[in-house]
Amino acid sequence: MCARHPERAASGTCERCGNFTCDECYQGHTLPLCPACREKLGPGGFTLRRDSWTFDALWSHVWEAFKRDWVLLSVAVLIFLGVNGVVSAIGGVLQEAMKKSGGTAGLVMGFLAVQVGQLIVQGIFELGLYRMYLDVVEGGKADISRIASQVSKLGRYIVQKLLVLVLLGVPLGLYLLLVFALAAGSAGFKPAAIEENPSAIGIIAIGVLLAIVPIFYFALPLYFSTPELAHNEGVGPFQSIKNCFEIARGQRLIILGISLLSGLIAIAGVLVCCIGVLPAVALGQMLVTGLYLTLRNGTGLPLAREERHTPGTG
């Protein structure tokens, strides 16, 4: 029975608290939240879902949320880019020093050390940045402290990236190795002759074209892998990947379109004398975050166990 109207049979459940809702509370299945949750979240609360959204509604919601906190969001992007830049610079110096002291072995060790360091820093700040986006898109206020609030998920983030490498990167690498081996065979196994051999060039071109569709099919859902970890306190690395494929089911072209639009927004920010790149990046990533929430609502996945947070409390 409905939690608010116990005399009525329920026709759905709230996707935030799990309470049963009747048709009146559910407003004809157009909103995923019960009245109590809508009241708690306020007018900015996120109510779009995969079976009833439009791009205009998504853009309007994200744009209004962005306008409220664009300054702090831009500062967060600046912190993220600045920290990554510093880590890359330090990594380059370290790698060069290890190359001089240890030759080839030192170069390899330096490269691995730099990659691990960058992955750790990127994991902490990327998860934190998406946590900020989620707060704002869901109707909350931007809080810079949130950018460092996801350290506890760093292990899951690293394992998730390793799983992606094994599940997607390794098969792709082996496939491309096979394509280049076939191309080299057609050129008499002479690497210098590959680029002058029409058959070898044709094999490589066909091989790459054949890989495009499966690459997009398996890679596009992973666009949501970091938001899923940032949004869900209880999800593990493997389950987060499975959830991403469920969220992306039947929606891959939409994901591709929004991701391209996000990139174009960032490029437009660069063209405005570079001063607009920070808010442009924030807006583009918030659009992706909004799409993630929209497509997750209505999948039937377990409710995300979100970290409850009041801005200013740390």
DSSP string, 204-220: HHHHHHHHHHHHHHHHG
- Confidence grade of residue 228 (pLDDT, cut at 50, 70, 90): very high
Stretch 165-171: mean pLDDT, rounded?
A: 90
Identify whether 157 is part of a domain. no
List, for residues 9-57, the tens digit of each pLDDT value.
988 887 667 788 888 776 555 556 677 776 665 445 677 889 889 999 9
- Count structural domains, the chain: 1
Q: What is the pLDDT of residue 273?
A: 65
- Which of 185-189, 191-195, 199-203 tops mean pLDDT? 199-203
List, for residues 80-107, the tens digit of each pLDDT value.
989 888 888 887 787 777 767 766 666 6
Contact 282, 77 (CB under 8 A): yes
Range of 218's domain?
176-247
Q: What is the pLDDT of residue 62?
A: 94
Q: Which of these ranges, 193-207, 221-235, 237-251, has the smallest mean pLDDT? A: 193-207
Beta bridge partners of 164: none
Identify whether 110 is part of a domain. no
Q: What is the pLDDT of residue 311?
A: 41
DSSP string, 103-133: HHHHHHHHHHHHHHHHHHHHHHHHHHHHHHH
Tell me, yes or no, if the pTM score tops 0.85: no
- Confidence grade of residue 186 (pLDDT, cut at 50, 70, 90): confident
Measured between alpha carbons, how far is 166 from 218 in angstroms, rounded to an integer?
Answer: 13
Identify whether 213 is part of a domain. yes
Stretch 285-304: mean pLDDT, rounded?
A: 89
Mean pLDDT, the chain, whole residue set: 84
Percentage of the chain beyond pLDDT 70 is 86
Identify whether 187 is part of a domain. yes
How many residues comprise the chain?
Answer: 314
Identify whether 186 is part of a domain. yes
User: Which residue, among 24, 211, 48, 204, has the nearest Cα to 138 in the 3D structure?
Assistant: 48
Identify whether 86 is part of a domain. no
User: Which residue, among 299, 295, 287, has the nearest Cα to 56 in the 3D structure?
Assistant: 287
DSSP string, 162-182: HHHIIIIIHHHHHHHHHHHHH
Tokens of 26: 């559910």
Identify whether 126 is part of a domain. no
Q: How far is CA 47 from CA 24, 29, 39, 54, in A?
A: 16, 11, 12, 12
Identify whether 75 is part of a domain. no
